[in-house]
Amino acid sequence: MKKKILISAGAVLVLLVASAIWFVQVYGPNFNIYLVPPSTKKYGKIALQFIDQNGLYTNSAEWKEAKTAAESNLASAKSYDEVLGILNGYIKHAGGKHSYITTSSQQASNAAAPVIMPTYRVQDDVLILTVPEFVGTQDEAKQYMGILSRAISDEKYSGIIVDLSGNQGGDMSPMIVGLSQTLPDGILFTYVDKHANATDVTLKDGSIDAGGFDLKSPASGKKTDVPIALITNEKTGSSGEMTLLCFRGLPNTRTFGQDTAGYATVNKTFYLYDGASIQITCANVKARTGEPFGEDPIAPDVQTKDAYKDALAWIKQQLDARG
């Protein structure tokens, strides 16, 4: 009897191990988990499947034709790098201009680049916040957020300028959370995918539910009653544009400068076995006003080559009108 029990237990253990191996082989690539390095063919299949499943435009006839061509070219690929080169030629058919592939070496180079932190100053009773792009660690994200948050909390001013010119994106969380005192709680904007599914991104108690780093502003209280001018230019893109859209439709705001870059879309990231990453656009954005945004540039309220001068003048005008 004891022997039969041991045999049965062993059979169950073998079955569990076999099931675990099967699960990892089938579903592990979704979490970048592999028992053995994938073949070049498997590597390409996994990458193309992710693009096909998530791309904003993969329901189009253009993508179906591009996918067939990609599959044909991938069949003869001899290396991971060759796979990435092939897919780079097709990914924009699936996700649009905001979609791209980053190799492991490019990732390492990006990680080594210094993080540019926000700066601030007070001029003519106006707090001027320079909000740059952000790619960094969790600790650096907290530092970035903290600079903005403390400036808004601690400085003395009657108006605010948020300078997003040159902000090409990255993680929007430290930008938006750092500026959260100047925004009302509630829906900031909405993601809309290819199936018309809508997902609201909301601000509540100094944090947002938008992925990226999990951050919470240490500041309490709101500064939503002061006039806020935002500055943009042709390099304001991606998360820079998403930060801009957080202020869309608010009565105390106005935008100055030049049209943005036109990357107000949502990207989903997938990491491959060798550390390369796929950034595929999976949704467009709808502002709180109901306006849709995506690959078209966002025009400022005031087109100007002297955005600071005009922004300061507008804030002064608002303050004078209040008496």
Total domain count for the chain?
A: 1
Q: What is the pLDDT of residues 211-224, one digit of tens each?
A: 777 899 988 889 99
Evaluate if residue 103 carries a pLDDT over 70: yes
CATH number, residue 169: 3.90.226.10
Residue 274 lies in a domain: no
Residue 304 lies in a domain: yes
With bands split at pLDDT 50, 70 and 90, how would you rate the model's confidence at 323? confident
Helix (H) or strand (E) holding 198: strand 198-204
Domain with 196 in it? 114-265+289-322
Residue 156 lies in a domain: yes
Residue 300 lies in a domain: yes
Q: Are strands 126-130 and 159-163 parallel, antiparallel or unpaired?
A: parallel
* C-alpha 263 chain-centroid distance: 10
Q: What is the pLDDT of residues 226-284, one digit of tens each?
A: 999 999 999 999 999 999 999 999 999 999 999 999 999 999 999 999 999 999 999 99
pLDDT at residue 13, rounded to an integer = 53
Residue 205 lies in a domain: yes
Residue 136 lies in a domain: yes
How far apart CA 143 and CA 155 sit, in angstroms, is 18
Residue 89 lies in a domain: no
Residue pair 15/251 in contact by the 8 Å Cβ criterion: no
Identify residue 311 by its one-letter amino acid code: A
Evaluate if residue 24 carries a pLDDT over 60: no
With bands split at pLDDT 50, 70 and 90, how would you rate the model's confidence at 20? very low
Residue 164 lies in a domain: yes
For the chain, the first-to-last Cα distance in angstroms comes to: 94
Identify residue 170 by its one-letter amino acid code: G
